[in-house]
Structure 1
Amino acid sequence: MTATMLIQLGLTGLVVALIPLAVVWRAQGAANKYRKLVWVTLFFTFDLIMFGAFTRLTDSGLGCPDWPGCYSHANPLLAHEHINAAQEAMPTGPVTWAKAWIEMTHRYFAMAVGFLIIVLMVAAWWRWIRSGKTELQFRPWFPTALLGFVCLQGAFGAWTVTMKLQPIIVTLHLLLGLNLLAMLTWLAARQEPHLPVSPAGRALIVPATLGAALLGLQIALGGWVSTNYAALACTDFPLCDGKLVPDMDFAHGFTLWRHLGMTSGGDYLPFQALTAIHWVHRSFAFVVILYVVWLAHRALREEGLRKTGRWLLTVLGLQLCTGLATIYLNWPLAIAVVHNGGAALLVILMVMLNYKVRYAPSGQAIAAPPATARPVTP
C-alpha cells in the first residue's frame, strides 16, 4: 500500500461522488440542497448494496485479493500482469479480468458513498452552527454517527477480502450495509412532511418495531444462505429434496466462526449443513410474510400510513416471486440480484413505517403540508 495508490483511489471515489453532488448543487435553497443530498446518498447506498450483491453472486469478492487496491494498484489496468498470471493459472478461479473490475467498481462506489456522507456531515454542522442551533432539520449528531458507521462498514469490507470471504464476516458486512441504508432512510424521513397519524395508527409502534426485528432476522438468514452458497441446496418447493423436513446438519450449518465451505474443525462442510441453512431461511420466510402482510393491512386503515402499507405489500409480493424463481429457474443471476434489492427496499419501507408511527403529526388525516414545510421531530 503506497501513498500514490491511496491518492489515486481517493480521486476515483471523489470523481464518482461528484456526479450526485452535481445533481444536488442544482437544487434551490440551502434546506432543499440538504434534503436532496440526503436522498441522493440514500439512493447511492441502495445502488451500492445492489452492486455488492452482484459482486458476491458473481463470486467476485476476491477479484482483487488485497485491499484497498488491486495487487497494490489503484485499478486493474495497472495490475494487468498479476491478473493475467492468475487468470492463466485458473481461468475460472476467483481472479479474472471481469471479476477484478467488478470488485474494484464496488470499492469505487463504496468510496463515493463515503465522500457523500462526509459532505452530508459537514453540511449539517455548517447549517446547524450558522442557524444558531435552531434549525432542527440540520442537527449534526445523526450525520456524524453515519460517518462513524460507514468507517466501520469499510473495515468489514477490508476483512471480507483479507479473511477470504469468511461467511460470518461477509454476512456482517451485508447487515451493516443494510443498517447504513436504514439510518439514511430515517434521516431522509426527518426531512419530509408527513400526513397526520391517529391514535389507532400510533398504536402500531410496537408491532412495527417487531416487524423490523423479524425482517432483520430474515435478512440475516438470507445473507447466511448467500455467503455459504446454499441457494440451491433445495431445488424443489414446497418440499426440499422431496421431503417436508429433509436431512439436515444444523450444528455445522450454523457454526458461525469457520472458513467458507469448511467446518470449524477444517473438514469440508457436509451438504446437509447447506440444506439446513437454506431450509431455515425458507421456513422463517413464511412467518415474516404473514406478519408483514398483517402489519401492512393495519397500515392501510390509516390515511397517513396507507402509501407505505401498499408498497410493503407490493415489494413483499416481489420478494416472494423472486425467491421462488431462484429455486425453479436454477438461481439466475439477475433474479438473485433483484431478490437482494427487494430485501433492501423492505428495509427502507419498514423504517419509514416505524418513523411515521412515532413522529408523524397527531390527529386525523388531512392534506399534506406544503413541500417547503419541514416537520420538527426528534
Structure 2
Amino acid sequence: MRTASDPAIPQDAAPAPRRILTYRRLVFLAWFLTLDLIMFGAFVRLTDSGLGCPDWPGCYGHFSPLGASESIQQALQAMPYGPVSAFQAWIEMIHRYAGAFLGLLIIAFTVLAWRLRRQLSHSPALSTAILGLVCLQGAFGAWTVTHRLMPLVVTTHLVLGMSLLAAMTWLAAREKAHDPVPAPLASGRRWMALGLAVLFLQLALGGWVSTNYAALACMDFPTCHGAWVPAMDFQGGFTLLRGLGKQTSGDLISQDALTAIHWTHRNFALVVLALLGGLAWRWRRVPGLRGPARLLLALLALQLATGLTTIFFQWPLLIAVMHNGGAAGLVLVSVTLLWRLAQAGKPPSCKRPPGRLE
C-alpha cells in the first residue's frame, strides 16, 4: 500500500486541502479584523486619541503606555486640556497593536496564496497587492502622528483603510459560494462600479468633515444656518495642504470654510442615496444579489438616520462610531455586489457544502 510519503504521490497532495482551509480562515479573519480596525480607528479619532502617544511606533519611547506613565503625567500637567491621558494613550496603542497583528495575518495568507497558487482557482496577485496596501496604510498611520493630525494625511489614512477593506472583501468574496447571478445582469457591474466610485468620493468628504471637526458646522436640517445655500468659503475649506484647524496663512480656519465642508458632504449624500439606493432596489429580488442588495438598502437607511442624529444630538460618540461603521458596511456590501455581478452567467468557482445561499 502506498502512503503520502511514496515518491509516486505528490508530497503536498494530502495536506493541500487543509492548507486551503487554513488560507480561507486567515482571509476571513483578516477581513473581519480590517472591519473592526476601521471602526476602532473612528473611535480613536472621535475620542481625540490620535496623539495619545505623540511618537511612533512606541509611546513616549516605550513599547506600551505602562512604561510611559511618568511621561504621560508630565504631558498631562503641561497640557491639562490637550489630547493626553493614559486612557487615550491606551486607545492609540491598542489600535497600533491590532494593526500590526493584521499585517502579520496578511503576510501569512499571502505566503499561502503563493504556495497554493496551483491549487487555488485564482492568482496570488491580489493578496500581494493587499500586502503592499497594508504597508502603505501603516506608513500613513505613522505620518498621522508625525504630521500632528494634518487633515489631508488623516483623511488619506481613512480612505486607504476603506480601500483595504474593499480589497479584503473582494478576496473573501472569491472564497464564498453564492447563488448564480443571471447572465443578462453582467452589464450591471458598470453601474455598481460607478456607485462604488461615488461612495468613495463621499467617504473622502466624510473623512474631511471629521478631520476638520466640521460635523457640527450646521446645526439645523434640511437648511444650514437657516438657508439652503449659506455663506461658504470653499477655497478655505478645501485647501488640502494645511495644518489642523488652520488656513495656509496660519490663521484659524473660518466658520464659513467649515460650513462649506459640512454642506458639501451633506448634499453629496443625496447622490449616493439616489444611485446606490436605486441599484439596490432594482436588484433586491434577483437571485444571487437579493441578500447584499437588501442589506445595502438597510445600511443606507442607517447612514441617513445616524447622520441626522449626529446633528440633532450634537455628535454623540456612539452614533458617530456607528456612522463610520455604516460607511464601512456600505463599502463591504457594494464590493460584494460588484464581485457577484462580475461573475454573472459564470459557474460557481468556489464549492461549499450544500445549504442556503444568498
Q: Same fold (TM over 0.5)?
A: yes
Is 1:82 aligned to residue 71 of structure 2? Answer: yes
Contact 2:186–2:344, Cα closer than 8 Å, also in 1: no
Deviations 1:287-336 (A, max 9, x none): 11011110101212421111111000011111110000000011000000
Alignment of 1:177-326 (within 5 A): 177-326=161-310
Which runs of 5 or more structure 2 residues have no equivalent in the other structure?
Answer: 1-16
In the other structure, the counterpart of 1:100 is 89
Contact 1:230–1:277, Cα closer than 8 Å, also in 2: yes
* Distance in 2 of aligned mates of 1:144 and 1:370: 24
* Distance in 2 of aligned mates of 1:48 and 1:298: 32
- Structure 1 residue 134, shift from structure 2 partner: 4.5
More helix by share: 1
Contact 1:48–1:110, Cα closer than 8 Å, also in 2: yes
Question: 4+ residue stretches of structure 1 with deviation over 4 A?
Answer: 367-370
- Structure 1 residue 370, shift from structure 2 partner: 5.3
Contact 1:65–1:161, Cα closer than 8 Å, also in 2: yes
Contact 1:38–1:187, Cα closer than 8 Å, also in 2: yes
* Distance in 2 of aligned mates of 1:303 and 1:369: 17
Deviations 1:319-361 (A, max 9, x none): 1100000000110000000100000000000000111101244
Instruction: Name the aligned partner's letter for residue 40 of structure 1.
Output: L
* Distance in 2 of aligned mates of 1:348 and 1:176: 14
Deviations 1:53-103 (A, max 9, x none): 000001110000010100111001101111000112222211111111111
**1:339 counterpart SS class:** helix
Deviations 1:253-276 (A, max 9, x none): 000110000001111101110000
Contact 2:52–2:83, Cα closer than 8 Å, also in 1: yes
* Distance in 2 of aligned mates of 1:174 and 1:368: 32
Instruction: Name the aligned partner's letter for residue 74 of structure 2.
Output: A
Instruction: Name the aligned partner's letter for residue 73 of structure 2.
Output: N
* Distance in 1 of aligned mates of 2:110 and 2:243: 37
- Structure 1 residue 30, shift from structure 2 partner: 2.8
Q: What value does the CA root-mean-square deviation take over the aligned residues?
A: 1.7
Contact 1:185–1:351, Cα closer than 8 Å, also in 2: yes
The two structures have a TM-score, normalised by structure 1, of 0.86
* Distance in 2 of aligned mates of 1:341 and 1:45: 11
* Distance in 2 of aligned mates of 1:370 and 1:254: 48
- Structure 1 residue 372, shift from structure 2 partner: 4.6
In the other structure, the counterpart of 2:35 is 46
Which region of structure 1 is more displaced relative to structure 2, 200-209 or 335-344? 200-209
The two structures have a TM-score, normalised by structure 2, of 0.91
**2:193 counterpart SS class:** helix
Instruction: Name the aligned partner's letter for residue 135 of structure 1.
Output: L
Contact 1:153–1:177, Cα closer than 8 Å, also in 2: yes
* Distance in 1 of aligned mates of 2:81 and 2:32: 33
* Distance in 1 of aligned mates of 2:324 and 2:178: 28
**Alignment length, in residue pairs?**
338
In the other structure, the counterpart of 1:165 is 149
